Amino acid sequence: MGYLSRVALVAAISILSISCNRGITPGVLRFSHFWSEPAQRAFMDTLLAGFHREHPEIPVEVSELSWSDGKTKLMVGFNSETAPDVLELGSDWVAQFSSSGVLLQLDSNPSIGARFANAAQYSLAPGMWSGKHYAVPWLLDTRVIFINDSLRRYILDGLDTSHWDWNAQHLQSDLIWSTRRGDGIGVNGPDQHRLYKKFLPYIWSNGGDLFDSNGHPMMATPQNIEALKYYVGQLNFGVLGTQKDLDEAFVRGKLGIWYSGSWLLPRLAKAPFKWHSLPFPGNNGHDGQSFAGGEYLAINAHSAMKKEAELFLEYITRPENELAFARKVNEYPADVRSQADSFYLNRREGKVFTEQLQHARMTPVIPQWLDVEAIIEDEVSKALYKKKTPEQAMQSMQRRTVERMREP
């Protein structure tokens, strides 16, 4: 029994018991996605109508999932043999599915192969297992540094920000904090599935990494310990909070510097203060590397409609369709050629985000990632609350990760 089956079997038994064909209409292609807001749903309907015009012989049934329980529902579906034919997955989930043999290998389809050729290189790994492609990168997004210029102006007029690194960020945060007009920098604390996204860029931007090229944990390296020391040290002139609370503090003009995503742009368009953004800073001569999240599309390996599923996947990831949907949901298309579309370059801070996408990374590709993620967030939280030193936290992170990866 594969890892996915072992993890989900108990959930499957406890949640529901269904026959192999319950709720499945023969000859109907089933597609599950996570875009359920009214405007998103309406545009998805437009895309589906376009597919119907091209392939009227392939009816499509859509089901919408939520991020709170969508992954569990998909796992239950695979265990009960009722999983959709085409499904959307988050970038940090794919390895758990692809390593279990439930996703269709996609390398033999030349039309889909073009999607891999034109995607950002770093976005390919999450959709691969044992050197083969099992999921197509669809949408991407990243995070940048937001700076409140109205807080900076009290003491920082004329300060050169052309050289943006950890030292510069430290200096500006400290000086903003010293004005007592706002907190210098936001520090994401305990916040499930979010804290690690704020911390990992400090490791990457200091020349560190979590795993070596063979997938072995290497958490307690000097570079990683230094990254955690810096992250924790920001509390000397910053404020600890959740992503939601710190987003709110920045929008209200109470926070000087904050690392966040494009979801802030609509709210900041009405902000009563001046602001701008910068790429994530590097340290010790290393380039700044931000976190990139992504949405992927895959096909059920046991689908009775594999040919039709491949036609649908080719259609929905077609560059013009992918770009149109990405613009509608305020994310970036995975196709690097479309990332230079005028929609992105001409919007406020669009060039910063587009540039940052060229210097970004995604989560490591290991089936146990979600468990490792929880270990990382727990140890970083202990360091933030002074329950452990950064050295102790990283050493414990290493030990616990090794133990977890020894388990089946």
pLDDT tops 50 at residue 183: yes
Q: Which residue has the tokens 């996408």?
A: 357
For Cα atoms 209, 131, 73, give the angle at the middle one, nearest 5 degrees: 80
Quick one: 335 and 379 in the same domain?
Answer: no
Quick one: 97 and 192 in the same domain?
Answer: no
Containing domain of residue 203, as a range? 142-291+365-406
Quick one: 117 and 263 in the same domain?
Answer: no
Quick one: 399 and 258 in the same domain?
Answer: yes
> What is the value of pTM for the model shown?
0.88
Quick one: 275 and 349 in the same domain?
Answer: no
Residue (of 211, 198, 223) closest to 286 by Cα position: 223
- Structure confidence at residue 18 as a pLDDT band (50, 70, 90): very low
Quick one: 351 and 236 in the same domain?
Answer: no
3-state secondary structure labels for all residues of the chain? CCHHHHHHHHHHHHHCCCCCCCCCCCCCEEEEECCCCHHHHHHHHHHHHHHHHHCCCCCEEEEECCCCCHHHHHHHHHHCCCCCCEEEEECCCHHHHHCCCCECCCCCCHHHHHHHHCECHHHCHHHEECCEECCEEEEEEEEEEEEEHHHHHHHHCCCCCCCCEHHHHHHHHHHHHHCCCCEEEEEECCCCCCHHHHHHHHHHCCCCCCECCCCCECCCCHHHHHHHHHHHHHHHCEEEECHHHHHHHHHCCCEEEEEEEHHHHHHHCCCCCCEEEECCCECCCCCCCEEEEEEEEEEECCCCCHHHHHHHHHHHCCHHHHHHHHHHCCCEECECCHHHCHHHHHCCCHHHHHHHHCCEECCCCCCCHHHHHHHHHHHHHHHHCCCCCHHHHHHHHHHHHHHHHHCC
pLDDT on residue 68: 84
Calculate the average pLDDT of the chain. 91
Question: Domain holding 191: CATH number?
Answer: 3.40.190.10
Quick one: 95 and 133 in the same domain?
Answer: yes
Quick one: 381 and 396 in the same domain?
Answer: yes
Q: Report the relative pairing of strands 275-278 and 290-299 from DSSP bridges.
A: unpaired
pLDDT on residue 181: 86
pLDDT on residue 67: 86
- Structure confidence at residue 180 as a pLDDT band (50, 70, 90): confident
Residues whose CB is less than 8 angstroms from the CB of residue 188 and which lie 6 or more positions away in sequence, other chains included: 194, 195, 198, 199, 241, 242, 243, 246, 259
Number of domains the chain is built from: 2
Quick one: 84 and 46 in the same domain?
Answer: yes
pLDDT tops 50 at residue 378: yes
d(CA 353, CA 261): 9
pLDDT tops 50 at residue 147: yes
> Helix 390-406 to helix 369-384 angle, to the nearest 10 degrees?
160
d(CA 46, CA 62): 13
Quick one: 60 and 158 in the same domain?
Answer: no
Quick one: 241 and 386 in the same domain?
Answer: yes
Q: Tens digit of pLDDT for each residue in 274-317? A: 999 999 999 999 999 999 999 999 999 999 999 999 999 999 99
Find out whether 311 and 55 touch, Cβ atoms under 8 Å: yes
Q: Report the relative pairing of strands 290-299 and 255-261 from DSSP bridges.
A: unpaired
Q: Tens digit of pLDDT for each residue in 343-358? A: 999 988 999 999 999 9
d(CA 325, CA 385): 42
pLDDT tops 90 at residue 382: yes
Quick one: 352 and 219 in the same domain?
Answer: no
